[in-house]
């Protein structure tokens, strides 16, 4: 589904991403981990054509993302609050996203149903603009909006950050269920090694812009990651 080839992003003299090859097959769930500044967000921005690579190419279903909008119809993403339209209420925002994908009010309501526990009574019917929500609740709105169209590919940057422990567990279960139900391909960056290994069947470690490990998740993966990041 996603193919990255000889992808380099450099800012002045600093190379922040340098990936020779990365292939993500349909239905894979890939967790991207790495310390602050490793290049995770920059990679995601290039996958979504928000940042142009210095050299190299990203293709989605064999078409360079920079050459077409086709991938936008089957890709849902939430990287940060900049993805939100913060002068709308969550309901208005979900309707806006739903309209883009031809969803009826009933469809939207049905698709938000699995988010009921995650929303914890704090998102819908609050008569508040998104900008007035807490960071964690803004994140919940962004994740729900990204998943609303049941996209073939879902890209989330640090979805567990800013969420309280109950919400993190609810989100983890929700992502697993979305994958099981719809076979969504997922790319998820996280600093939470435990959650990301529970959600993803493959883990990629990025260090200073380079892929240093790429492994299938097994029972020993969490321990291996903890050992890797223990300095």
Ligand X SMILES: Nc1ncnc2c1ncn2[C@@H]1O[C@H](COP(=O)(O)OP(=O)(O)OP(=O)(O)O)[C@@H](O)[C@H]1O
- For the bound state, the minimum distance from the C-beta of residue 131 to ligand X, rounded and expressed in Å, comes to 22
- Please tell me whether residue 159 binds ligand X under the rule CB under 6 A: no
Which sign does the torsion angle of CA 30, 193, 199, 79 carry? negative
Region of 38-46, 95-103, 105-113, 223-231 interacting with ligand X (CB under 6 A): 38-46
Among 2, 16, 187, 199, binds ligand X (CB under 6 A): 16
Among 34, 53, 90, 151, binds ligand X (CB under 6 A): 34
Among 4, 38, 46, 174, binds ligand X (CB under 6 A): 38
- Please tell me whether residue 42 binds ligand X under the rule CB under 6 A: yes
Tokens 């994140």: give the residue: 139
H helix and E strand count, the chain = 8, 10
- For the bound state, the minimum distance from the C-beta of residue 17 to ligand X, rounded and expressed in Å, comes to 7
Region of 40-48, 119-127, 139-147, 176-184 interacting with ligand X (CB under 6 A): 40-48
Region of 31-39, 77-85, 121-129, 135-143 interacting with ligand X (CB under 6 A): 31-39
- Please tell me whether residue 188 binds ligand X under the rule CB under 6 A: no
- For the bound state, the minimum distance from the C-beta of residue 53 to ligand X, rounded and expressed in Å, comes to 13
- Please tell me whether residue 82 binds ligand X under the rule CB under 6 A: no
- Tell me how far apart the alpha carbons of residues 39 and 157 are, in angstroms, rounded to a whole number: 11
Helix (H) or strand (E) holding 23: strand 14-24
φ, ψ (nearest 5 deg) of residue 169 = -70, -40
Among 19, 29, 39, 53, binds ligand X (CB under 6 A): 39
Nearest Cα neighbor of 194 from 229, 151, 162 is 229
- Tell me how far apart the alpha carbons of residues 143 and 152 are, in angstroms, rounded to a whole number: 15
* DSSP-derived secondary structure for 69-133: SGGGGTEEEE-SGGGS-TTS-HHHHHHHHHHHTT--HHHHHHHHGGGHHHHTTSSTT----GGGS
Binding residues for ligand X, total number by CB under 6 A? 10
- Please tell me whether residue 40 binds ligand X under the rule CB under 6 A: yes
Among 11, 102, 227, 230, binds ligand X (CB under 6 A): 11
What's 35-47 look like in SS3?
Answer: CCCCCHHHHHHHH
**Closest to ligand X by CB, 37 or 64:** 37
| Residues lying near ligand X in the complex (CB under 6 A) | 11, 16, 34, 36-42
């Amino acid at each position: 589904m996603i193919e990255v080839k000889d992808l380099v992003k450099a800012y002045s003299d600093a190379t922040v991403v340098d990936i020779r090859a990365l292939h993500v097959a349909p239905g894979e769930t890939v967790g991207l981990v790495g310390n602050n500044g490793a290049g995770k967000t920059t990679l995601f921005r290039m996958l979504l054509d928000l940042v142009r690579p210095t050299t190299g190419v990203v293709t989605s279903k064999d078409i360079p993302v920079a050459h077409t909008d086709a991938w936008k119809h089957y890709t849902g993403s939430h990287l940060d609050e900049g993805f939100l339209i913060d002068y709308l209420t969550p309901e208005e925002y979900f309707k806006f996203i739903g309209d883009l994908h031809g969803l009826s009010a009933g469809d939207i309501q049905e698709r938000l149903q699995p988010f009921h526990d995650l929303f914890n009574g704090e998102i819908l019917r609050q008569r508040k603009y998104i900008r007035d929500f807490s960071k964690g609740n803004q994140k919940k709105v962004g994740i729900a909006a990204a998943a609303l169209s049941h996209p073939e590919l879902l890209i989330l940057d640090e979805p567990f950050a800013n969420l309280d422990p109950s919400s993190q567990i609810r989100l983890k279960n929700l992502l697993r269920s979305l994958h099981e139900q719809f076979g969504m391909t997922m790319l998820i960056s996280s600093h939470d090694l435990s959650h990301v290994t529970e959600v993803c069947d493959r883990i990629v470690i990025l260090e200073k812009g380079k892929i240093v490990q790429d492994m299938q998740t097994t029972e020993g993966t969490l321990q291996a990651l903890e050992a890797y990041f223990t300095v």
